[in-house]
A and B are shown apart, each in its own frame.
Chain A
């Protein structure tokens, strides 16, 4: 056989690249099943209200309408628990008794056609008793605020803390103390493909058994769901719980997703569609309208209060962080996500004294969940912005100040864990070099000034978590990897093919990776949190070892020799003593009389934070830390406040790189994706109403917004390095990098996202950076940004390079 050529570390192509570019690949959106009916939602127009009555008569009477399902149809139904939730079962499939946010589904019209369902939905009349509502998370935590869930008084949706060292004493002894508040508004993921789901109740069990006829309330039937979901097994678990079905009687299939960014994690519309199909007695399909996507899930708004004490030499001596996240109307992942947020809050710095508090509050807004850079971008905006304020105040270059304080190998983190595989200093150096930190700024037109800034972050990944895979070799010698990792354009399928082919030393063309199907592909926690390359990679490695064992044992059995005498090579097995004995895997499997040889592989991370006392969280936060940075050069129009990102660079610690191209694409994707939340994306509530649930008023970056000069680096380890997910690393640092570049250019500091021209203009005026009309030049800085009265205006002048 020919020598194996490694495919790890090569730009192995995504197999369906051409179909993606020409628009011919099929998404979950394109799926249909025979006899399916179509659902349309009736959604709440009030942020908080009791439902007095729902009149469905006019809708039901329309020709073509199958049924109209409301919460009342679900409450006393035998064998159905209508509530679901990743961590708290607080969310009804369809509103029951009350609504808690604008856009919450109140009724589901099921009809023969989507057009009829849409028409009938207009005829459903809902009568409400409005209740007081609350939109702001901090207001929701105040005494006397409207309560969303009786089971959760005070709107508590998670509260965690930790304290290491003695922050109060250290702040008292500090030479300088800096305090500030940074805010991030609610946001939306806006995947191009909306949420879509088909649910069908089936008489046969998925393993071929006929209906078992027991009285589980659904006639012994099983449930088959097709959904655009990042976590097929989470959907299976939730539906099995709601309908009282064994997990094997719920089958979830997932094809290509048209983007997700966290919006399709956990469980979304699947319970609603499954309930509608149950009541309708027909397969039901629901595809959300764009506004309904906005109403289904969003990003946590956050208020971050950050206090940092410094010594005279520019070392951080203490840090206190208090973060309040807005969970929205239902918990989704917030109770646990705020614990993850806790450990992401202090930043990648050495902190002998650190106190962290992370809370989430229920509010009458769209439920929130993981959003690319989850629970990290909000805090990174605070700690990286504040660090540049401190640098200016102390007269230390921002890169130098970071270098003095960044975590290094063996440091002890806030959680008490000793850190390994720490690369922050290298990432900092790479970002600074890439953006030309020490180079002079280019000349600009009158009225325009340039500045540079950067931001660096650390992020944990979901821990513990589990990924199983199954690896098969058939009689044709083809290899199949059954995995429930979801392809959403990130290229996970190509990555898995590369890993299998490389480690098995076979031709990648022999490797198939079918789409996730919980009836066939084994358990996976989720495709999110930048965990898949690492965790699926570990499971694949485990499966490959098992496969080699199994093939060796099979050959040993056929040849009547000792297993240790068998050598398994790329595609062949042979007796060590007799090279002429070599047979292909195909021949070996065929001779065994089996259709295929099948083995399992598993990855299970067991480390977990100890939060027995929620205010004393400690332990190991993550299987490994994600590390990344972003750096930018911006040009500011000082008359308008508009900030243009002219150059941007993203990087990450990538460990062993499977595909350099896809790492680059992820880093660059982070930058492009992150421009929106940094500069203009925000969900706006007025009087409890979500005012901009459409793409005319919730703008996304377009190709014309992409910086002219967009670069990326992957810091790679050697062949023995761990694999790393890289989907989010360059994103959290971007917004503070831009804010810092604005500050560098003008002395104006904006502490609220997004950095809209209007906010920037107001900050420019506050900073005294208004232009001289005749020349467009900016007067010398009048105020020091940290507000300490000790600013050194010479370190951060208008058009100078960083000192």
Chain B
């Protein structure tokens, strides 16, 4: 069926009510880069589209002392080009700068990116690695949930009917460095075969300072971003050196059972998990990561 109506609510409450009203017949749309593709492919068949374009206050970037709030309607290009974010959240800026192509990034939003829960998109793994939390508004009020608790499966979120992500809060503690390595097997505009987001917190902002926190998250190899907590926790308090990188690479390659798709077989992804977990950790071991693509 063609979409019967296009609605543009002007308040969050109105939007949530519209979406809660009939969950199967309403689809929320921000930048529309994912929804329009799904409509075209027939994967979505809603009666009405609820545009989030006129909701106030979702397009802000607020930089606090120990965290950053990014509104759900902020475009990936805005994240990628924001001077402060590039300095304090380099892995996120890198990931956002590498999604699709410039035409997509200029219109796709950070909130939409998470709500789509595309297993092969770059930002979710990075946000998980940074301990980002989604602020979610729904018919029964506001709640908060870690990105790993929002993106729960292959194109699946834990968002309830009528719930919308309104912003993402990302901690920016001192002594933190992070990187994102995107690995492509086809064209430069492809989605990743794998993406590795790594983040390390140190007691002091020196590369040789002891590690107080570490996370390594692998994207595009399973329905959701993957981490191997035992392996990262074991490195806390130890120097983050090449031996640590090797241990983590081996542990991740052994623990993750990757998918097969046209960007790489399961066997190949296992090899690449080993390579890119090692590279990401080595990059952080050498000093503050600036992010980069492989």
Contacts and interface: CB of A to CB of B under 8 A. Distances in A.
B185 interface: yes
A51 interface: no
A702 B187 contact: yes
Given A640-B275, A758-B264, A758-B268, A115 B2 contact: yes
B188 interface: yes
Interface stretch (A60-68, A70-78, A650-658, A693-701): A693-701
Nearest to A289: B40
Contacts of A705: 187-188
Contacts of B271: 640, 761
Interface string B266-278: 0010011001000
A700 B187 contact: yes
B265 A758 contact: yes
A680 B187 contact: yes
A639 B185 contact: no
A389 to B, nearest CB: 25
A704 B188 CA distance: 6
Contact of A642 (B1, B185, B262): B185
Nearest to A681: B186
A680 B189 contact: no
A757 interface: yes
Contacts of B184: 642
* Residue among B185, B186, B268, B275 with the highest chain A CB neighbour number at 10 A: B186
Instruction: Give the top 5 A-B pairs by smallest Cβ distance, nearest first.
Output: A704-B188, A680-B186, A699-B187, A699-B186, A758-B268
A676 interface: yes
Given A702-B189, A757-B268, 14 more contacts: A115-B2, A119-B2, A640-B294, A642-B184, A642-B185, A676-B187, A680-B187, A684-B262, A699-B190, A756-B186, A757-B185, A757-B193, A757-B264, A773-B246
Given A639-B275, A761-B271, A756 B185 contact: yes
A692 interface: yes
B106 interface: no
Nearest to A695: B189
A400 B268 CA distance: 38
B180 interface: no
Contacts of B264: 757-758
B241 to A, nearest CB: 13
Nearest to B264: A758
A115 B265 CA distance: 39
Given A700-B187, A704-B189, A705-B187, A692 B1 contact: no
Interface in A704-718: 704-705
B36 interface: no
A651 to B, nearest CB: 25
A640 B264 CA distance: 11
A756 B185 CA distance: 7
B272 A692 contact: no
A642 B187 CA distance: 11
A758 B258 CA distance: 15
A699 B183 CA distance: 15
Contacts of B60: none
A704 B184 CA distance: 12
The size bracket of the interface on B is 20 to 34
B185 A758 contact: yes
The size bracket of the interface on A is 20 to 34
Nearest to A704: B188
A119 B265 CA distance: 37
B101 interface: yes
Interface string B186-200: 111111010000000
Contacts of A680: 185-187
* Residue among A637, A642, A699 with the highest chain B CB neighbour number at 10 A: A699
A639 B183 CA distance: 12
Nearest to A700: B187
A608 to B, nearest CB: 41
29 contacts: A119-B1, A119-B2, A637-B294, A640-B271, A640-B272, A640-B275, A642-B183, A642-B184, A676-B187, A679-B186, A680-B185, A692-B262, A696-B37, A696-B191, A699-B186, A699-B187, A699-B189, A701-B187, A702-B188, A704-B187, A705-B188, A756-B185, A757-B185, A757-B193, A757-B264, A757-B268, A758-B185, A758-B268, A773-B246
A680 B262 CA distance: 10
Contacts of B101: 702
Nearest to B267: A758
Nearest to A765: B271
A665 B264 CA distance: 33
B187 A761 contact: no
A421 to B, nearest CB: 38
Contacts of A699: 186-187, 189-190
* Residue among A639, A676, A691 with the highest chain B CB neighbour number at 10 A: A639
Interface in B218-263: 246, 262
A691 B263 CA distance: 13
Contacts of B246: 773
Contacts of A691: 262
Contacts of A676: 187
Nearest to B261: A697
Interface string A667-697: 0000000001001100010000001100011
A692 B262 CA distance: 9
A704 B37 CA distance: 23
